[in-house]
């Protein structure tokens, strides 16, 4: 008998892992494409026809999992979905071995796992397939695309857009920083409780890129020095999915960052954004979330078209 062939070695990682890795023109293109698909969900020629898309979520998800599953179907792919207990990862199989099994069967993989971003990169390299980060501890890049698309839908040209983010410097905040750092003249201020800001390396990376396009990314730890003029106030829930805080008094640190009508009155023309799910009474007042200036529900709807734009790009031969 002949020698048993060895499985193929690892390939080059492909897909969407962090918006910091995408050039500004590509981020702008994904934003514009998301808006186009929002207006017309059929504005494509089923580019994933005949493909199989894995959708792996080991953490809870309503919007992102639904958006990528439905988006794959609308683009022509057949989705195969995996929950937290479905794969042998749950019994100790390594990420590398799992990837080497899934790679020959799938054409792309959308994944939200309990592990670090490096796990998703390993899935791509070992599986030799494109992987889309549907939220890792470090960053939620598809949310960043969705947020830019929501802003573009609302304001048109994003040049010079002014955003105030209020709350924890979590994975959504990191994606927002990298997204707006790619927009010419944008100004984003992160007002975060001391000790709960953006990771220093992520902030520095966003600041460096912002400087190349005349944008500003900054962080403060109180709302007093917030900018006088903003177009959008953005918050997220205080308890990020799948995480816990060591400080038993953490809520006291966050209370000054509650977004209520009094805070919004500082910027009477500003819109409000929230990536959802929301905890009314914690990070935001119900009258703000459900009020006339809220874009949160448009944001939620934009999840589908932005997922489609990301899938279309990731599955392309040169994606």
- Taking only the tens place, the pLDDT of each residue in 4-31 is 444 556 789 999 999 999 999 999 999 9
In a domain? residue 7: no
In a domain? residue 319: no
Tell me the pLDDT tens digit for each residue of 169-198.
999 999 999 999 999 999 999 999 999 999
What is the pLDDT at residue 9? 66
Task: Tell me, yes or no, whether 167 and 132 share the same domain.
Answer: no
* Range of the structural domain that residue 129 is part of: 14-139+304-313
What is the pLDDT at residue 242? 61
Give the global pTM.
Answer: 0.95
What is the CATH number for 188?
A: 3.40.50.1370
Could you please report the per-residue DSSP string of 35-55? HHHHH-TT-S--TTTT-EEEE
What is the pLDDT at residue 211? 97
| Mean pLDDT for all residues in the chain | 94
Provide the number of structural domains found in the chain: 2
* Burial environment of residue 23 by CB neighbours within 10 A (0 to 12, 13 to 18, 19 or more): exposed
What average pLDDT does the segment 82-95 reach? Answer: 92
What is the pLDDT at residue 1? 38
Task: Tell me, yes or no, whether 132 and 145 share the same domain.
Answer: no
The token pair that represents 294 in the structure block: 């809220």
Tokens 């983010």 map to which residue? 165
Task: Tell me, yes or no, whether 116 and 92 share the same domain.
Answer: yes
Task: Tell me, yes or no, whether 158 and 132 share the same domain.
Answer: no
What is the pLDDT at residue 86? 94
Distances in whole angstroms, Cα of residue 175 to Cα of each of 25, 33, 52, 138, 142:
16, 18, 27, 9, 8
What is the pLDDT at residue 4? 47
The token pair that represents 211 in the structure block: 């400087």
In a domain? residue 4: no
């Amino acid at each position: 008998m002949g020698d048993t062939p060895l499985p193929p070695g690892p390939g080059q990682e492909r897909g969407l892992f962090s918006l910091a890795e995408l050039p500004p023109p590509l981020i702008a293109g994904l934003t514009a494409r998301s808006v186009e698909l929002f207006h017309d969900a059929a504005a494509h020629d089923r580019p994933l026809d005949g493909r199989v898309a894995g959708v792996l979520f080991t953490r809870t998800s309503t919007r992102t999992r639904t958006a990528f599953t439905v988006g794959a179907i609308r683009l022509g792919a057949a989705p195969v979905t995996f929950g937290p207990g479905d794969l042998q990862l749950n019994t100790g199989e390594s990420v590398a071995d799992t990837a080497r099994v899934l790679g020959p069967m799938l054409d792309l993989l959308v994944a939200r796992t309990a592990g670090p971003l490096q796990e998703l990169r390993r899935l791509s390299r070992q599986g030799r397939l494109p992987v889309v980060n549907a939220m890792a501890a470090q960053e939620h890049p598809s949310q960043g695309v969705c947020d830019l698309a929501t802003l573009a839908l609302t304001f048109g040209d994003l040049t010079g857009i002014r955003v105030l983010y209020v709350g924890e410097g979590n994975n959504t905040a990191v994606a927002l920083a990298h997204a707006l750092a790619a927009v010419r003249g944008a100004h984003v201020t992160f007002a975060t409780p001391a000790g709960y800001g953006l990771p220093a390396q992520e902030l520095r990376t966003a600041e460096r890129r912002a400087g190349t396009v005349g944008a500003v990314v900054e962080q403060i730890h109180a709302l007093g020095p917030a900018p006088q003029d903003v177009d959008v106030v953005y918050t997220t829930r205080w308890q990020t999915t799948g995480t816990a805080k060591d400080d038993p008094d953490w809520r006291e640190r966050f209370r000054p960052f509650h977004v209520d009508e009094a805070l919004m009155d500082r910027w009477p023309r500003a819109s409000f954004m929230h990536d959802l799910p929301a905890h009314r009474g914690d990070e935001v007042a119900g009258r703000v979330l459900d009020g006339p200036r809220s874009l949160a529900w448009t944001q939620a709807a934009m999840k589908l078209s932005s997922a489609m734009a990301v899938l279309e790009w990731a599955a392309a031969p040169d994606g």
